[in-house]
Each structure stands twice: as C-alpha cells, then as structure tokens.
Amino acid sequence: MEIEGMAGAIGVSTNSLLLAQYINELSAFCTSVVAYTANGTVFHGRNIDFLFESTMRNITYQAEFMQNG
C-alpha cells in the first residue's frame, strides 16, 4: 500500500516504482530504523549510503505521508 500511494503521488506506475525499489535494495545496502510511539505513530528513517551519493542526494525526495488527516 505504501508503494501504491507513493506511485500515485508522483504519477508513475506501481510496478515501475516497485522495480526501482528492488533495484535500490539490491544495490544500495542502506540501513533503516523503524520505530513507533505509544500512540501507534510509526517512524521510518533511512540513511543514504550509496556509492554515488552526490547524484542520489539531488534526486532524493523527503516526504510525509498521512492518511485520514
């Protein structure tokens, strides 16, 4: 559902974004942290440890997705 929402928000197909995600996962070796608060808010943080960080830094999009407000 996250990929579908992101794909719709940026106007690309879900399959294209899923493929890009798989390529990223197989090549980047990023680490991430997922945590949640007592009220159920989920936080996901990911570092950028790419070999071509200067290029990725220019095309990385930071977003906050919300549902129902």
Q: Which of 9, 30, 49, 55 is catalytic?
A: 30
Q: Is 30 a catalytic residue?
A: yes
Which H or E element spans position 64?
none
Separation of first and last alpha carbons in the chain = 17
Helices 14-28 and 2-10 pack at an angle, to 10 degrees, of: 110
Residue that is written with structure tokens 């290029």 in the block: 55
Which positions are catalytic? 30
